Amino acid sequence: MNKPQILIVEDDAAVSNLISTTMETQNYQYHRAKTGSGAVMDALSYHPDVVLLDLGLPDMDGVDIIKKIRSWSNMPIIVVSARSEDNDKVAALDAGADDYLTKPFSVDELLARLRVALRRVRYDSEKASEESSVYENGDLKIDYAAGCVYRAGEEIHLTPIEYKLLCVLAKNTGKVLTHNYIFKAVWGSSDGADISSLRVFMATLRKKLEVDSTHPRFIQTHIGVGYRMLRQSPAGS
């Protein structure tokens, strides 16, 4: 199996060195860029599996870099930034970032986020040739053609809104989806979006989906930002 290729976009030498050393301990291959323009060029020529992106670069805002990469690629982008405000996270995620890690961060957390992104890369490549009409995640199964949902072989009856919410999350497994993204995907617009009503829909969906809705295995809440469908091990493994 080929070693994962990581593009590190960071102008702070100390942080860049820390991340690079961490990549070496995991036997990951990496390439480093210090500017936004360099990052875009390296993403085009280097074709990394994952991009680790600082938002505060000297020549270009990180959100603009995300938009540029998203115009031609779906490669996972994990933002690693000192900006900790919810609106900064939402802006990066709405632009197309997959995840957001706030500085200072622990090496263990960085590696955990990277593993999630790399699992998505592997899963996407395995499924790319299939164009399957069935989604499977652990013991959760969605039959898109029939519009049916099953958990552990038992059919779960969802309302039309709950089903649309689940499909949006499932088709973006491993990726944090902002409230705005979900409103646009499910209701067609985020105008007049009522986050409290979205919370209610998510709560009822969780009750039907999860064995224990207080300890969800599938739908993870990112407070003030949105939701993520977590990738589970295959049923029976």
Mind listing the pLDDT tens digit for each residue in 164-216?
999 999 988 888 999 988 988 888 877 777 888 899 999 999 999 988 877 88
Q: What are the distances in angstroms from CA 82 to CA 4, 14, 19, 100, 136?
A: 25, 14, 15, 10, 36
pLDDT above 70 (res 126):
no
* Interval 97-105 mean pLDDT: 92
Confidence of residue 144 (pLDDT cuts 50, 70, 90): confident
* pLDDT at position 177: 92
Is the distance from CB of 200 to CB of 150 less than 8 angstroms? no
pLDDT band of residue 237 (cuts 50, 70, 90) is low
Residue 211 to residue 60: CA distance in whole angstroms: 45
Other CB atoms within 10 Å distance of the CB of residue 5: 17
* pLDDT value, residue 132: 65
**pLDDT tens sequence across 22-75:** 999 999 999 999 999 999 999 988 889 999 999 999 999 999 999 999 888 889
158 by DSSP, 3-state: which? Answer: coil
Is 87's pLDDT higher than 80?
yes
> At 237, which helix (H) or strand (E)?
none
Q: Rounded mean pLDDT of the chain?
A: 88
Do 78 and 113 touch, CB atoms closer than 8 A? yes
**Residues above pLDDT 90, as percent of the chain:** 61
- Domains of the chain (ranges, CATH numbers): 5-127 (3.40.50.2300), 134-229 (1.10.10.10)
User: In the prediction, which pLDDT does 101 show?
Assistant: 93
Do residues 178 and 186 lie in contact, with contact meaning Cβ atoms separated by under 8 Å? no
Residue-level pLDDT at 235: 62
What is the number of alpha carbons within 13 Å of residue 110 lying toward its C-beta?
25
Give the residue among 192, 153, 147, 154 at the shortest CA–CA distance from 170.
147
- pLDDT in the model for residue 129: 43
Cβ-defined contacts of 124-133 (< 8 Å, 24+): 124/74
74-84 pLDDT, tens digit per residue, is 899 999 999 88
- Residues paired with 202 in a beta bridge: none
Q: What is the mean pLDDT of residues 11-26?
A: 95
pLDDT in the model for residue 119? 84
CA 111, CA 108: separation in Å to the nearest integer?
5
Instruction: Assign 120 a pLDDT band (cuts: 50, 70, 90).
Output: confident
Secondary structure of residue 137 in the 3-state scheme: strand
> What pLDDT does 165 receive?
94
State the pLDDT at residue 127: 59
Tokens representing 128 are 């790319």
Residue carrying structure tokens 């029939």: 146
Read off the pTM.
0.69
